[in-house]
Structure 1
Amino acid sequence: MLVREIMTCPAFSVHRESSLNEALQLMAERKVTSLPVVDDEDVLVGVLSEIDLLRRAVEADRRAHATPVHESEPLPESVGEIMTPNPRTTTESSDVADLITLFTTSSFKSLPVVRGRRLIGVISRSDVIRALWRSDEELTADLRAVFHDYGQDSWNIEVHHGVVQVTGTGTTRERDIAAAIAHSVLGVRRVHVTPPVEA
């Protein structure tokens, strides 16, 4: 599964000169946890996350403190003041399996998708979850259609809980091709290609 097949495009984003109010409203209304930050040419210059906002966008309430609250630095006004610059990104041709590893071993919930330096989309953990949920019947129908389109009708295809079993006679190269075809179908989690069992 490739990033371009499941990413959200176009991505919700903010300009670095946008006000924090604009960013807060967009994040609240769209229920996103971060926003890519772009310049006038849609070049990615940073990311604004919930953490960035929580760290800097709220001043201490004096009513909640027994001792005097020290004067804090002025509240930021623009996104560019508190965004995280030079964010981690991915590309549309990246393997979603690699991103799953990143998502499960780090605090990243989403990544901007870039072409060169231009923002073209966002991929999130939610996008991956949505892509993984497809019924076995739906996957089987799509797999058979794709195998047919490639002239590979001789393979037997079975799907159980998103895991694809491809059975048939073929060389190692032909089995590799069959596996690649199966992996191209959205929602396939794992592929096994095996020769038929002899009676």
Structure 2
Amino acid sequence: MLAKDIMTKEVIKVHKDEVVENVIKLLLEKDISGVPVVDDEGMLVGIVSEGDLIYKSKKFHFPLYFTILDSYIFLEKPKMIEEQVSKMTAYKVESMMSTEVHSAREDDTVEDIATIMNEKGVNRVPVVDESGKVVGIVTRKDIIKSYNM
């Protein structure tokens, strides 16, 4: 069985410039746990999930530092701190979405997609065409349903 046989073709997706508050409402209204994020051309650029939204609510982890000769030496990388603050204070989806998205093609097998989900620890895999546009999505539930087909 292939991705095109089990994927949801009418994909709920959001634009990277969408306001986070609207995405929260969308997830609740549609009873889904995540959505692909697209750019102006409809190309897959990220994914936003409940996990990303929960991250926004976590306590900020202040970096540990020490001083030597009146200089501060931070034990964490400034880039990591910047990413944490950006994600936690995000107003637009682009600032909080996960950009490392594991996608599939319509002709990938269900086994290939299940392997991606297990190895990468993801709950949904967007299906894209040759140009990178989202044409479907496969969730864990879709894979379980495929056992009855």
**1:106: Cα distance to partner?**
4.0
Partner of 2:134: 119
Equivalent pairs, count: 122
Aligned partner letter, 1:132: Y
| CA deviation map 1:107-133 (0-9, x unaligned) | 211111000211111101101112222
Match of 2:117 among 84, 92, 103: 103
SS state of the match for residue 4, structure 2?
helix
**1:94: Cα distance to partner?**
0.2
Partner of 1:25: 25
Partner of 1:169: none
CA distance in 1, matches of 2:15, 2:125: 17
Aligned partner letter, 1:5: D
SS state of the match for residue 98, structure 1?
helix
Partner of 2:41: 41
| CA deviation map 1:167-195 (0-9, x unaligned) | xxxxxxxxxxxxxxxxxxxx2xxxxxxxx
Aligned partner letter, 1:36: P
CA distance in 1, matches of 2:104, 2:116: 11
Partner of 2:65: none
Partner of 1:150: none
CA distance in 2, matches of 1:82, 1:130: 31
CA distance in 1, matches of 2:102, 2:116: 11
Q: How does 1:52-91 map to 2 (within 5 A)?
A: 52-56=52-56, 58=57, 73=85, 75-91=89-105
* TM-score computed with the length of structure 1 as normaliser: 0.57
* Structure 2: stretches of 5+ with no match in the other structure: 60-83
| CA deviation map 1:22-81 (0-9, x unaligned) | 11111112222211000111111111111111112x376xxxxxxxxxxx9572111001
- Note closer, same or farther for the CA distance 1:103–1:85 as it changes in structure 2 (3 Å cut): closer
| CA deviation map 1:138-168 (0-9, x unaligned) | xxxxxxxxxxxxxxxxxxxxxxxxxxxxxxx
**What is the identity percentage for the equivalent residue pairs of Structure 1 and Structure 2?**
29
Deviating beyond 4 angstroms after TM superposition, the runs of 4 or more aligned structure 1 residues are none
**1:85: Cα distance to partner?**
1.2
SS state of the match for residue 54, structure 2?
helix
Greater Rg by CA: 1
- Note closer, same or farther for the CA distance 1:45–1:93 as it changes in structure 2 (3 Å cut): same
Aligned partner letter, 1:92: E
Partner of 2:66: none
CA distance in 1, matches of 2:52, 2:135: 23
CA distance in 2, matches of 1:132, 1:92: 18
* TM-score computed with the length of structure 2 as normaliser: 0.74
CA contact (8 A) 2:102 2:116 kept: no
